[in-house]
Amino acid sequence: MKIISPYYEILDHLDQQSLAVRIEYCGRICYKSEDRISQESALPFVAKMAEHGHNSVLEMGVVTLEVCADENAAAELFLCQPKYLHISREGNRLLITGSIRAFREMLMFHPACTIVRAVCACLNERHPYFFSTILPEGGLAAVPSITVRKVPLEDIDQLPADKLVKHRHIAVKFIVNRAVTHELVRHRAASFLQESQRYCRYSDDKFGSEVTFIKPMFWEEGSEEYTVWQETMEETERRYLRLLETSTAQAARTVLPNSCKTEIIVYANLEQWRHIFKLRCSKAAEPSMREVMIPLSEEFNGMFPILLR
């Protein structure tokens, strides 16, 4: 048995990586298969995710596009009630931010929309592995009346405050207990990928053949209550490892408690992060949540002072 303290990691280093590299890094968290990442592994991984429709993984790649189109084309787009897209408008200029999943679903459900075809043609030219299985008959071609440009991250960071909070996304990896992640996933505007107890067998060598638990903040180490908790976790681990001798991981996991360590990536725009911090740093929030959220909010405020407004 292993006991660790909770912590987090802001994944801003992924902002400089390609969409494929970002998606693979996040996707392999679910199966704890990061050891399979290589210089050539990203494209096959994301192509497989797209082919099999693993949409939650494809939410980990977000792109911002500048679209210039006339009034009729813009109206046509809004009539589609675009899901999961953040759109800002200035005259005939649209700033559209969305995940690969969002753009794929727009193409699948609204293939006749002119702007949808134009933006997906642009993305397909750059990243054909995301769209190869859902292309309409005849493929996708650029729309002459509409110009589409990918907006680089440095330009997004220079946007005025009202647009920056909508279009700037950032991911955080939390290493916490499952009670905390049960609350995190309630923020439905964000995207999530979590370590899967269904597939992870903690008896394997890569997990040290043991279960890892998060140290509870409620009791001092050595106290009577802490000793009761520790003994309970030790007994739980023994029973879990015993079940794995004759059962699948998804069956054995039914005995695992909230104290189990898990990894979860939360990916959201700054507007949603501000909302998360407002709720999860308050005095009414669950103490284990506040344990990681308060220092994280302070770090975010240093990176993006706009969140203080």
| 3-class secondary structure per residue, 173-222 | EEEEEHHHHHHHCCCCCCEEEECCCCCCCCCCHHHCCCCEEECCCCCCCC
**pLDDT tens digits for 247-256?**
999 999 999 9
Please tell me the predicted confidence (pLDDT) of residue 122. 96
- Three-state SS for 84? coil
Predicted pLDDT at 308: 67
Residue 162 carries which side chain, given as an amino acid letter?
D
Q: Strands across the sheet with 86-90, in order? A: 86-90, 93-99, 62-68, 147-150
Q: What mean pLDDT is predicted for residues 122-128?
A: 95
**Tens digits of residue pLDDT in 180-238:** 999 999 998 899 999 999 999 999 999 999 999 999 999 999 999 999 999 999 999 99
- CATH architecture of structural domain 2-12+168-308: 2-Layer Sandwich (3.30)
Q: What is the mean pLDDT of the chain?
A: 95
User: What is the C-alpha separation between 240 and 238, in angstroms, rounded?
Assistant: 6
Q: Say what the pLDDT of residue 25 is.
A: 96
Instruction: Please report, rounded to a whole number, the percentage of residues in the chain having pLDDT higher than 70.
Output: 99
Tell me the C-alpha distance between 251 and 90, whole Å.
54
pLDDT value of residue 53: 87
Could you tell me the fold of the domain covering 19-159?
Gyrase A; domain 2 (3.30.1360)
Is pLDDT above 70 for 307? Answer: yes
Residue 179 buriedness (CB in 10 A; 0-12 / 13-18 / 19+): middle
pLDDT band at 309; cut points 50, 70, 90? low
User: Range(s) for CATH 3.30.1360.170 in the chain?
Assistant: 2-12+168-308, 19-159
Is 117 a catalytic site residue?
Answer: no
Confidence of residue 37 (pLDDT cuts 50, 70, 90): very high
For 134, the enclosing helix (H) or strand (E) is: none
> Cα separation of 20 and 283, whole Å?
39
pLDDT at position 138 over 90: no
Pairing of strands 147-150, 62-68: antiparallel
Active site residue: 198, 280, 290, 309, which one?
Answer: 280
